[in-house]
Chain A
Amino acid sequence: MIELRAIYILWLREMKKLSRAKERIFGSLAMPLMFLAFLGMGFKSTAIPGLEHNISYISFLVPGVIGLNILFGSMFSGISVLWDREFGFLKEIMVAPVSRTSIALGRVAGGMTMVIIQGTLLLLLSFIFHFSMGPDFSALRMLVGIASMYAFMVLMSITFVSLGLSFASNMRDAQGFDLIINFVMFPLFFVSGALAPISNLPGWLRFFCYLNPLTYGVDGIRASLTQYSVMPLYLDLFVCVLVAFGMLSLASYFFERSDSV
């Protein structure tokens, strides 16, 4: 059972807190922006193996960096349930007569909103770095592309907030947090084709790329914003929808099962 009012108030709580700590939005944009600045500028005139000539490296990189931001922002948002547990507020949430799925969805909605705001800012800022959507893009094609990018953002944030929640439900405190950053988040990011085309990677590594949901998300955003993609858009979309629902169910299951005290 899903209670919309509960999802709304949980979302509203996140937004109120976000509006009181706006620096959070910019703080977490710093890393993606540095990737854009240093990688984008650094490899500007280098020929990237596997990259076709009709796309510049910066245009290739921007969707990857948007993906990076979604991955980190969403995971952090999911794991932040641990802080609620630490400060006791989770008990207040858990004794309310509301289904655990709604509570998980409220958290997803909050994380998603933050990630979408950041993604939009990131896309706007990337034009400073000479990001281009392609020479033969009509205005209509651009609008469709951006709408399609938002669809991927939504699906990816559902996936990764859920993944963060699943981890948080199975942890007692925030001590394993570094492990998750180093052994889950960075590997997911590096084997996603966010920084370089996966077609160049050795076969065994490419295998992991194809197992990684972030690969399809990044590829989907890339297909939406530029004309370059490894897989067809419909395949990216299909995988992302599937994974988003799967992860959400998993997160609800873990969340329901976990002890709230």
Chain B
Amino acid sequence: MDRVIKVENLTKQFKNTSAVDNISFAVDWGECFGLLGPNGAGKTTTVNMLSTLLKPTSGRALIAGYDVGTQKNRVRSSIGMVFQEPALDSKLTGRENLEFHAMMYGIPPRSYKKSISELLSLVELSEKADTLVQNYSGGMKRRLEIARGLIQKPKVLFLDEPTLGLDSQTRRRIWDYVKGLLSEKNISIILTTHYMEEADFLCDRIAIIDSGRIIALGTPKELKDSQGGDVLTLEVESASETFTKALSAMAGIRSIKEHQECQKCLAVTLERAETKIPEVLRIAQDFSVKVLSVNVHKISLEDVFLNYTGRTIKNTEEREKVW
């Protein structure tokens, strides 16, 4: 088995609309694979099909070698889920929620007692374990759910918008847990998100999804490189041709153009802009070019999305809201 997940032409139609439209991808063992796109792009529908909760209209998906259509219970035993919205019983304690889960997965009490207390300390909830979940904060619930998804030692962990609605501090902590999982446990992760920086930070490879289709797929670096690179905008008093020539000769510079909106500006496309600024300024000094301001635009996955769809993820979501 070369790949832990294989998806072939997966499609889900609701009435007349295709929520997921003929997507295919594969995920390697131990990889963190991201599905990035605006709300309503079909990420959760994809996850629901891969986790046997929704029946695909057509197409096929294999998880750890098992078919999600015909070997549902095998698939269910191989995966762990952290849903977009909390799926905890708030009238039970944290520990009881985990015990419920362990028993549903057929783990004998002797082994689950130990692994539950280990997981609780991993997500720093040991002290709150015997409190009813209704008294938990949003971040605590999320951490409890991550712990729960790991009890059965899944081959694939699904994280559906794991940091949605959490404050930035909590988000950072969840990211750290996920990074830790990837390095310590032998696990593959499918992460859906509409936060660029989350996908960029956590994922080995990303599929950008829009209107149920994969519009780009690759490592974060590949996706960003496909856009040319960072843009360094130099505002200068007067640019000389010799100066521009010297700049072009610098390593890592891809192109230099006149800026479209600002007359005195030069738009320099280059790799890792922030590391090149000192040298650019030194060259400017050598040619006695007075630099008035320097602005760096780091290329982000947002630019990738913008380039493929003509709109930003944020705009797409706002448009959805209007409708």
Contacts and interface: CB of A to CB of B under 8 A. Distances in A.
A187 interface: no
B89 A89 contact: yes
B87 A17 contact: no
- Give the dominant DSSP class at A's interface: helix
B51 A95 contact: yes
Interface string A20-42: 11000000000000000000000
B86 A88 contact: yes
Contact of B53 (A3, A89, A94): A94
Contact of B103 (A9, A20, A90): A9
B103 A95 contact: no
A238 interface: no
A169 to B, nearest CB: 14
Interface residues on B, range: 20 to 34
Contacts of B105: 96-97
A17 B92 contact: yes
Contacts of A91: 53, 81, 83, 87
Nearest to B76: A97
B87 A96 contact: no
Nearest to B54: A261
B53 A13 contact: no
B91 A93 contact: no
A88 B83 contact: yes
B100 A88 contact: no
Given A3-B106, A8-B103, A92 B87 contact: yes
A241 interface: no
A97 B103 contact: no
Contact of A16 (B53, B81, B96): B96
A3 B76 CA distance: 15
A10 to B, nearest CB: 8
Given A16-B96, A87-B90, A93 B54 contact: no
A88 B81 CA distance: 12
Contacts of A95: 51-53, 76, 79, 81
B87 A89 contact: yes
Given A17-B91, A95-B76, A97-B73, A6 B53 contact: no
A259 B48 CA distance: 11
A260 B53 contact: yes
B310 to A, nearest CB: 31
Interface in B50-78: 51-54, 73-74, 76-77
A5 B125 CA distance: 27
A5 B106 contact: yes
Contacts of A8: 103
A95 B73 CA distance: 9
A106 to B, nearest CB: 10
A94 B76 CA distance: 9
Nearest to A90: B87
B249 interface: no
A98 B91 contact: no
**Which residue, of B48, B76, B83, B87, has the highest number of chain A Cβ atoms within 10 A?**
B87
Contacts of A90: 87
A96 B101 CA distance: 8
Interface in B89-126: 89-92, 96, 99-101, 103-106
A20 B76 CA distance: 31
Contacts of A20: 91
Contact of A98 (B48, B87, B104): B104
B85 interface: yes
A4 to B, nearest CB: 11
Nearest to A102: B104
Given A88-B85, A92-B148, 8 more contacts: A9-B103, A87-B90, A92-B81, A92-B87, A92-B88, A95-B52, A96-B101, A98-B104
Interface of A: 3, 5-6, 8-9, 12-13, 16-17, 20-21, 87-99, 259-261
8 contacts: A6-B104, A88-B83, A92-B83, A92-B87, A94-B53, A95-B51, A98-B104, A259-B53
